[in-house]
Amino acid sequence: MSHGGEPITTFEVFALSHKGKMASDVQYIPEDDPEVYNNPTVHNRLLSYSEVAKEVHGPDIDARAHDLDGKVVMRVGGGKKHGRYYIGDSTLDIASTPTLPQIQAWSTSAGPTICPRPTVSQLEMQTLQAQLEEERKKWEDLESQQQQMAQFYTYMQVRVNGFPCKDINDVKVDDFFLAANLDKPMDTTKSKVRSNVTLINVMKLAGLNTLGISLARIDYAPLGQNPPHTHPRATEILTVLEGSLYVGFITSNPDNKFFSKLLNKGDVFVFPQGLIHFQFNPSQDKPAVAIAALSSQNPGAITIANAVFGSKPPIADDVLAKAFQVDKKAVDWLQAQFWEDNHN
C-alpha cells in the first residue's frame, strides 16, 4: 500500500482507519492479546507507542523501515460501524490510501487478497523452495535431453549416458571386473603406424557406466606412433611404463601453439580435452609401453588423418586441396590409402 508515493506499513493502515491520517511513528505491541485492541485502547496506544518503540527497539527506530513481527487482530472504524480486520503479519495489495469503508469491505470474503508478511523462518523456507525448484527445472531439462537422445530405444531398460542401467538386484561383481591382460605386450605388427591401443571403456567394462573414467594400454614398436588424434569427451593423463616417448599437443586456433616433451620411464604427461595430440617412440630398436587414463567412460577418438582422408563418403578433393594447399593429385593419392584404426 502507498501514500503520496511512500510505502505504508501495516500499522499505518490501522492509524489511517482510526484517525483519518498517517501516523508513521507508531506500531502495535505484538505481545498483547489481540482482543484488547478496541478503539479506545488503540487510540491510547497510538499516542504513546512512539516512546514505547524507542524504549524497546532503540532511539533510532524508524517506523517506515522497521516492520515488527507478530500477529494482531484489530478492530477498525468507530461507533457501531467497526469491522474486524487482520493486520500485523499481513499487508494490503493496493496502490492508494484506503478509506474506512474500503477497509471494512476488504475484511470480508469479497475483498482483495490479504498477503501474509512472511517470518524469517518462512523467508528461509521460501529461499530453499526456490533453490529446489531451480534444481528441479535443471533436472527436467537434462531428462528432456536424455529422452530426446534415447527416444528410439524406449523398449530397452532405463538408460543413463546412453547405456543400459541394470536393476540393482541384478548387479554382480563381474560387472566391475575384466580380465584385460594388460600386463601382456600387444601386437603392433599389423598396424601401419606400428602401435596398438587397448582401450578399456564402458563398452568392455559395464561397471564404468556413469563413473566418467576409462583407461588404455598403448604399445609402440620401435619408431611407432599413436598418430595425431583428439578425444572429444576426455582429458588424458599418460604414464610411460617402458622405453621413451616423444609427445605433444597443439592448442586451438588462432595460436596453434605446440607443446612437446621427451618422456622417459615413469614420467607423466597430460593432454587437455579435445586438443590434437600424439605419442612417438623415437627408439629404433626398443619398444615402448604407456598407460593412459581418460576422464570419460567413453572418451572417443578422432584420428585426424583417418577422419579427413578416410571419411566415408570421401570429402571432395577440391575442398581438401584448398584446405591443405596441395594439388588434387596429392589429395587423391592420400584418399586412396587404406586408413586403418590402431585401436582394439
Domain ranges of the chain: 2-117, 121-149, 175-336
Can you tell me which residue has the cell 583428439?
230
- Predicted confidence (pLDDT) per residue in 16-32, tens digit: 333 333 333 334 444 44
Say yes or no to pLDDT of 275 above 90: yes
Has residue 208 got a pLDDT over 60?
Answer: yes
pLDDT at 143: 66
214 close to 207: Cβ distance less than 8 angstroms: no
pLDDT-derived band at 84, boundaries 50, 70, 90: very low
Quote the pLDDT of residue 256. 94
**Cell numbers of 323, please?**
584446405
Maximum Cα–Cα distance for the chain, whole Å?
A: 112
For residue 73, pLDDT beyond 80:
no
Kindly report the pTM of this predicted structure: 0.55
Known binding-site positions for oxalate: 226, 231, 236
Residue 232 pLDDT level (bands cut at 50, 70, 90): very high
As a whole-number percent, the residues of the chain with pLDDT over 90 amount to: 43
> Given a cut of 50, is residue 59 above it in pLDDT?
yes
16 or 271: which carries more pLDDT confidence? 271
pLDDT for 74? 35
Q: Which helix (H) or strand (E) holds 72?
A: strand 72-76
Instruction: Give binding residues as ranges.
Output: 226, 229, 231, 236, 277
Please, which residues bridge with residue 279 across strands? 226, 247
From 63-67, 170-174, 268-272, the region with the lowest mean pLDDT? 63-67
Q: Right CATH number for 175-336 from 3.40.50.150, 2.60.120.10, 3.30.1280.10, 3.30.590.20? A: 2.60.120.10
Which residues lie below 8 Å from residue 128, measured CB to CB, with a gap of 6+?
none
Q: Which residues pair with 7 in a beta bridge?
A: 2
Sheet holding 195-200, edge to edge: 195-200, 214-220, 288-294, 236-242, 268-271
Q: Which residue has the higher pLDDT, 250 or 202?
A: 250
Annotated binding site for Mn(2+): 229, 231, 236, 277
Residue 82 has pLDDT above 70, yes or no: no
Q: Output 289 or 155, whichever has higher pLDDT.
A: 289
- What's the grid cell of residue 188? 603392433
| Region for 58 from its dihedrals, namely left if φ exceeds 0, alpha if ψ lies in -120 to 50, beta otherwise | left
Answer yes or no: are the C-beta atoms of 10 and 117 closer than 8 Å. Answer: yes
Q: Which of 297, 317, 327, 310 is nearest to 229 (CA)?
A: 310
What is the reported pLDDT for 324?
A: 95
